[in-house]
Amino acid sequence: MDAFRISNLVKKYGSVVAVDDLSLAVPSGSMFGFLGPNGSGKSTTIGCLTGLLDPTAGAIEILGQPFDTNSIGLKRRMGVMPETLGLFEPLYAHEFLAFVGRMFGLDEATTRTRVSELLQALELTDSSKTLAEYSTGMRKRVAFAAAVIHSPEILFLDEPFESIDPAGVALMKQWLRRFTAQGRTVFITSHVLETVERLCDAVAIITRPGKLVWQGDISVLARDGAIAFDGQEFRALEPLFLHLTGQRYADLNWL
C-alpha cells in the first residue's frame, strides 16, 4: 500500500510556478528521500502535503484517504517538521512540546512523560532559555521532538539534519530506522546527499520548477552496486544528482 500519493500537483504563488504537474507515490514503511536544488519546490510540496498550502491543482491522497487543509483526522496521524520549524519563540521548550502534545490529543500524564523523555533524549534540558534563546541546532531538535511526540504514522521532515551536530544526527537516524522498521513512513528532504544515500531506500529528484526528473530505488548503492541512467553508471548519489540537476560553473575572478 502507498503511504501517500500525489497526482498532477500544481502550486503557483501568483504567477510563479513552484510545483509543476508533480506525480509521486511513496510506499508505506519506506524511508523516502526527496531531493532537488534550492528553490526547486521541495518545501512547497511538503507544504501541500501537510495542509500548510492549498494546491492550485492536483490531488493528494494520504493513508488511502483524500487530503486537504481541513483533513483533521489525517493530520492527527502525521508528524511534520516544517522548513522554518514553526516554533513560538517566547515559550520554553517544555511548554511548547506540551502544547503540541495536548493538541494532538495526548492526555496530560502521557504528555508529561513524553515531553520529559524527549527533552532528556535530545539533550534539551536547559530549561532556563526560551526557544528564541536556543541555538539553531537546538531549535531544530525541538521541532523534531514536536513532529514525533504523538508517534505519527507518517513523518514529513524538511531538511531535518542541516545544522544539527553529528551526535544528534546519529540519534535521529537511529530513531527513524526504528520508525520505518515498524512499517511507518518517513519522507525527508535534504541536501546532505551522503546521509540520504545511507539512510533512504528510495529517492525522488526534482528540478526547478517542481518537475520530477528521477525516481527509484537506491539501496543498490549501499551494496556497492550502480544505478544506470542515460547510458551512464552512477556509483553514488552525488554524481547522479549533479547529472540530473545540471552542474554549474561560474568563475568570479575576484573571489
Ligand X SMILES: Nc1ncnc2c1ncn2[C@@H]1O[C@H](COP(=O)(O)OP(=O)(O)O)[C@@H](O)[C@H]1O
* Residues near other proteins, by CB under 8 A: 50-54, 69-70, 72-73, 75-76, 80, 82, 84-92, 94-95, 98-100, 102-105, 108, 111-112, 115-116, 119, 126-128
Look at residue 214 and give the partner it binds from other proteins, Mg ion, ligand X, none, a contact being a CB closer than 5 to 8 Å depending on partner kind: none
Cβ proximity to ligand X, 39 vs 73, nearer residue:
39
Among 43, 50, 185, 245, binds Mg ion (CB under 5 A): 43
CB atoms within 10 A of CB 1: 8
Residues 27-86 that bind ligand X (CB under 6 A): 36, 38-44
Residue span binding ligand X (CB under 6 A) among the ranges 1-9, 10-18, 88-96, 221-229: 10-18
Report residue 26: phi and psi, to 5°: -120, 120
> Where are the alpha helices (H) located in the chain, listed in sequence order?
42-50, 72-75, 93-103, 108-121, 136-148, 166-181, 193-199, 219-222, 237-245
The three-class DSSP label of residue 142 is: helix
Number of residues binding to ligand X, judged by CB under 6 A = 11
Q: Which amino acid is at 52?
A: L
Is 115 a residue that touches ligand X (CB under 6 A)? no
Tell me, what DSSP letter sits at residue 197?
Answer: H
Check binding of 197 to Mg ion (CB under 5 A). no
- DSSP summary character for residue 77: T
